A and B are shown apart, each in its own frame.
Chain A
């Protein structure tokens, strides 16, 4: 704690120009319309219920290996996707189920990928960490911490090369924000003015290591691009309205040819890093406090009720619809056949005219 205070006290050391452009916390957030609130609720609930079901299926032994759940962070992907144009590119780490679903991937195919079945979106060959939906401009699903950052920068390079104004939305965690390749990417994105928005999903724990133990100046990751002249912004990542508003500003900046932009989304994951994480590095009280006071879904529900835009019954109906989708996904994912043995040997090399 002492350390945090000390670094906060002597904070404004970053280059002035970028510091001027950067800001800690956005201004007051514009309210959502009723439709926007409902859309956000539906999307966030779908991701949450999907992930809860994935957790259950993992617990039942249907899902193997690593399985990184997104529960608690739903507002980030939801708000950013509400701000993006449908052809903007998206790439992220191995915590990718939510991004895939929100990009339009069929929950059945995503869940079947988690269970390693033939109907999986990658034919069961990628698993939980490698979900792709290129039709929805979602480029995966990458298992090496930080690797998606230069990849996402390359998506931006390609779109600029082709003369398009598409923007690359490159997501990574606060743990990855310490990776060298992230700064190699920041440097190139800045000198070439690439249309990329770097979305740092700061969920406060890189596996079991708190951001205060792993990052220099942990309270201002949005300043990580300052040395490269990249403006940054810290955002309440538990408030889907704040996320959408900040993403709109960042995307407009990138699309207008001004180069990259950094959004530090302050968020929280309720579950362990992966399913096999007993989460002994934080207290249960801390998690419950976040759930009770900042839960992104509860925030939307409360606003809908307070404004009398929805009744409790309406909200239950949304939940029921979402559960139906997720239950169907789970049924498909647990009853679909395993990939045929021949699949072992396919997709090692690309065929001409494919891909």
Chain B
């Protein structure tokens, strides 16, 4: 069976090349792997090998020929004694498909032309009934090059909105720590595939005691102490999720997750897409995030914006115990990877938690934590402490602040923020993270694009200072935002 050797491309952009030299003659024998020619462009020279052994039946291009198109037949190798089909050779068989030509010419496939998509198909996800985030009509931002990725989200936790509890439901004061523990325990009782893995989660009962009692109830098969090897055990957890388990990977703090971020992003967030939907990765990465107290720069950092940047991840950062519980349960049930950012300083805070059998909240929904009319303050996690304190201080001056607890950072509940801005016409964001490329910066972008005409003042962002976290008590205090910073920002957007 004769084989045709074609002009190869040295690079994805090469269209023509020069056949610099033939190293074989017609009638010569070649072995597999023998070099038969040298080709060159203005950038490089490369050798052309024969994959097959046989006899050089034809050299179809003269030595020194310039501008030989990529994909053009240059030689024919035949088996010994094989009679060539001269007619077929004369016809100089065209490559199986169109060779790379000028510009985009390599693209369209002639075999089955794609019909023009119907206009409404341009943003196919918008119409999907499960989409929660796109409840309010949105205009595609001109610079974004496509529909908002958030529209691709299907909010898969059972509820689309927060459950409404009647008078028959009692609330119990619980710490965030207890709420998180209960969420994990309930989901582990509910689903055998759920397990907890991390440093000191089992025998030590959790570095911050979040997993207290879980080893006793579920045993060491499902509550797994790991070596101090974040990269390794995060990858192991993702592999277990490939195989159908639902791992909860605890980082002692998210500072250490930087060693594992390759698996969070490259292995967990991107695999569903890269596999064309074949391989979902139901894993939760959770642990304390953000500034702790007096532990200096390497142990005090807010990673919210880092993870919120990544398509394929959902990112949750709750403030209250009830939200922590309801959203962690939703995260564990989610069929994809979720980054769940807790806060060490909030673990001991108490909040009322509904005493119901299955308190599950929707991912991607903000919550109005305080209703107001004059200025909107959007915050999450520890930022809510400053926001709520500031709202109290503003109320004393007769300013009515509406406080939005974002809870989910990806998907971000932009419609809820826009709705509030339409009422107050002023917006302040609050977070402990650095200001550059922050969650506040993202909110400012979205509100500018989607509620520009409703704003009576520029959006102001209150952030941690743009420095590594210092150790000294006074400097640490200066590095973090305060309720007064939020009050000042509110005054500023109110021009008071």
Q: Cβ of A157 < 8 Å from any Cβ of B?
A: yes
Q: Cβ of A150 < 8 Å from any Cβ of B?
A: yes
Interface string of B2-44 (1 = CB under 8 A from A): 0000111111101000000000000000011111000000001
Q: Cβ of A178 < 8 Å from any Cβ of B?
A: no
Cβ contacts under 8 Å, A122 to chain B: 274-276, 278
Question: Which of B83-91, B265-273, B481-489 binds A?
Answer: B265-273
Q: Cβ of B335 < 8 Å from any Cβ of A?
A: yes
Q: Cβ of A6 < 8 Å from any Cβ of B?
A: no
Cβ contacts under 8 Å, A353 to chain B: 335
Bound state CA distance, A10 and B152, in angstroms? Answer: 60
List 8 additional contacts besides A291-B32, A345-B152; criterion CB under 8 Å: A56-B6, A59-B71, A60-B8, A126-B274, A126-B275, A154-B235, A184-B231, A347-B277
Cβ contacts under 8 Å, B147 to chain A: 345
Question: Which of A22-30, A138-146, A251-259, A302-310 binds B?
Answer: A138-146
What's the least CB distance linking B464 to chain A, in Å? 30
Cβ contacts under 8 Å, A340 to chain B: 114, 117
Interface string of A112-132 (1 = CB under 8 A from B): 000001001111111000101
Whether B33 pairs with A335 at a CB distance below 8 angstroms is no
The answer, among A64, A132, A147, for a CB contact under 8 Å with B12, is A64
The answer, among A124, A126, A320, for a CB contact under 8 Å with B1, is A320
The answer, among A121, A330, A351, for a CB contact under 8 Å with B276, is A121
Interface string of A80-121 (1 = CB under 8 A from B): 000000000101000000000000000000000000010011
Cβ contacts under 8 Å, B154 to chain A: 349, 351-352
Q: Which of A121, A123, A147, A349 counts the most chain B CB atoms within 10 A?
A: A349
The answer, among B235, B245, B334, for a CB contact under 8 Å with A161, is B245
Whether A335 pairs with B236 at a CB distance below 8 angstroms is no
Cβ contacts under 8 Å, A198 to chain B: none
Bound state CA distance, A173 and B437, in angstroms? Answer: 38
Cβ contacts under 8 Å, B152 to chain A: 345-346, 348-349
Bound state CA distance, A52 and B6, in angstroms? Answer: 13
Whether B238 pairs with A188 at a CB distance below 8 angstroms is no
Whether B266 pairs with A292 at a CB distance below 8 angstroms is no
Whether B121 pairs with A188 at a CB distance below 8 angstroms is no
What's the least CB distance linking B166 to chain A, in Å? 27
Tell me the chain A residues, 165-204 only, with Cβ under 8 Å from chain B: 180-181, 184-185, 187-188, 191
Whether A147 pairs with B263 at a CB distance below 8 angstroms is yes
Could you give 18 example pairs across A and B, Cβ below 8 Å? A60-B100, A140-B275, A141-B275, A142-B267, A147-B262, A150-B232, A154-B235, A154-B237, A159-B243, A180-B231, A338-B109, A342-B122, A344-B146, A345-B152, A348-B312, A350-B334, A355-B278, A355-B281
> Contacts A60-B70, A187-B232, A188-B226 hold; do A151 and B239 have CB atoms under 8 A apart?
yes
Q: Cβ of B282 < 8 Å from any Cβ of A?
A: yes
Q: Cβ of B373 < 8 Å from any Cβ of A?
A: no
Give how many B residues have a beta carbon under 8 Å from the other chain's beta carbons.
90
Bound state CA distance, A156 and B336, in angstroms? Answer: 20
Bound state CA distance, A354 and B235, in angstroms? Answer: 22
The answer, among A120, A158, A278, A355, for a CB contact under 8 Å with B44, is A278
Question: What class of interface size applies to chain A in its complex with B?
Answer: 35 or more
Cβ contacts under 8 Å, A284 to chain B: 35
Q: Cβ of B279 < 8 Å from any Cβ of A?
A: yes
Cβ contacts under 8 Å, B470 to chain A: none
Q: Cβ of A8 < 8 Å from any Cβ of B?
A: no
Whether A61 pairs with B234 at a CB distance below 8 angstroms is no
Closest to B265 in A: A144
Whether B99 pairs with A61 at a CB distance below 8 angstroms is yes
Whether A149 pairs with B235 at a CB distance below 8 angstroms is yes
Bound state CA distance, A161 and B197, in angstroms? Answer: 13
Bound state CA distance, A139 and B267, in angstroms? Answer: 11
Cβ contacts under 8 Å, B121 to chain A: 342
Tell me the chain B residues, 129-157 only, with Cβ under 8 Å from chain A: 130, 146-147, 149, 151-154, 156
Whether A350 pairs with B280 at a CB distance below 8 angstroms is yes
Whether A150 pairs with B6 at a CB distance below 8 angstroms is no
Q: Cβ of B348 < 8 Å from any Cβ of A?
A: no
Whether A151 pairs with B235 at a CB distance below 8 angstroms is yes
Whether A58 pairs with B9 at a CB distance below 8 angstroms is yes
Q: Cβ of A294 < 8 Å from any Cβ of B?
A: no
Whether A155 pairs with B111 at a CB distance below 8 angstroms is no
Q: Which of A123, A132, A344, A348 counts the most chain B CB atoms within 10 A?
A: A348
Closest to A295 in B: B32
Bound state CA distance, A197 and B130, in angstroms? Answer: 42
Cβ contacts under 8 Å, B112 to chain A: 336-337
Q: Cβ of B352 < 8 Å from any Cβ of A?
A: no
Bound state CA distance, A344 and B195, in angstroms? Answer: 33
Closest to B126 in A: A345
Whether A61 pairs with B235 at a CB distance below 8 angstroms is no
Q: Cβ of A42 < 8 Å from any Cβ of B?
A: no
Q: Cβ of A152 < 8 Å from any Cβ of B?
A: yes
Q: Cβ of A79 < 8 Å from any Cβ of B?
A: no
Whether A161 pairs with B195 at a CB distance below 8 angstroms is yes
Whether A59 pairs with B239 at a CB distance below 8 angstroms is no
Whether B235 pairs with A185 at a CB distance below 8 angstroms is yes
Q: Which of B221, B279, B282 counts the most chain A CB atoms within 10 A?
A: B279
Whether A188 pairs with B236 at a CB distance below 8 angstroms is yes
What's the least CB distance linking B273 to chain A, in Å? 5
Bound state CA distance, A60 and B33, in angstroms? Answer: 19
Cβ contacts under 8 Å, B232 to chain A: 150, 153, 181, 184-185, 187-188
